[in-house]
Amino acid sequence: MAAFLRYIVWVRTRRKMLLLEKQRLLERERLRIARDIHDDLGARVTQISLASALAHDGQTDADIMRSELAKISHMSRDLITALYETVWTVNPENDNLKELGNYLFQLINELCERKQIRCRFHIAELPAEIIVPSHIRHNLCMVAKEAMNNIIKHASAMEVNLSISYKNSLLSVSIHDDGCGFIPPKKSTGHGLINMKGRLEEIGGGCRIESQPGQGTTVLIYLNI
């Protein structure tokens, strides 16, 4: 009887600890979203406001006005994308592996279309019953976005291949480009690569970068879910 009572107390204590941990993660995610809205979205709105004021200045040259209007259009599109990303992240209906795969597809496809880069997709059937919390979805998507931004800035690529698979509780996301390639440093350098690895380590995952000059680059993201 004493052992049974101790077991009951242990079970209840564990449930309370798990509940507190979920509440802590939820509060942390809320703080992150609030910070992103204040810092990132607020800065974008300020930039649009300043560019709009300059474009409406009666003394502004016509060429400068066209340039500022083009900037406003570009920044507005980026703002809408950032708002969509925030809404998608906080929506609990997207807390599953299938929706994560769909969003990664949309994200990579849109970035490729903007820069007129061909994109091929190899996405396995992803189970909707596998739960993926919002903070994990956010970090994975930010890593994929950073990898694509590196391709756009540095790779001079003509084609990108996105592969997503899930087997034995391991999610694998591979982003390969046919660009110029490089010799990966033995130690991560640059804020982009460091931030990518830091985000994945925060959620218990990791990434590997494979590249050779003239043979393109592959970023492999992996995470146990």
27: pLDDT strictly greater than 80: no
pLDDT value at 60 more than 70? no
Q: Are 137 and 179 in contact (CB under 8 A)?
A: no
Residue 159: what pLDDT? Answer: 96
pLDDT in tens, 99-136: 999 999 999 999 999 899 999 999 999 999 999 988 89
Decide if 130 contacts 97 (C-beta within 8 A).
yes
pLDDT of residue 90: 79
pLDDT of residue 183: 86
Per-residue pLDDT, averaged over 192-217, amounts to: 90
Q: Torsion angle of alpha carbons 162, 127, 20, 33, nearest 10°?
A: 40
pLDDT band at residue 34 using 50, 70 and 90 as cut-offs = low
Look up the pTM and report it.
0.74
175: exposed, middle or buried (Cβ count in 10 Å: 0-12, 13-18, 19+): buried
pLDDT of residue 54: 64
Tokens representing residue 42 in the block: 């607020």
Determine how many CB atoms are found less than 10 A away from the CB of residue 212.
11
pLDDT attached to residue 55: 65
Query: Half-sphere exposure (CA, 13 Å, Cβ side) for 74?
Result: 9
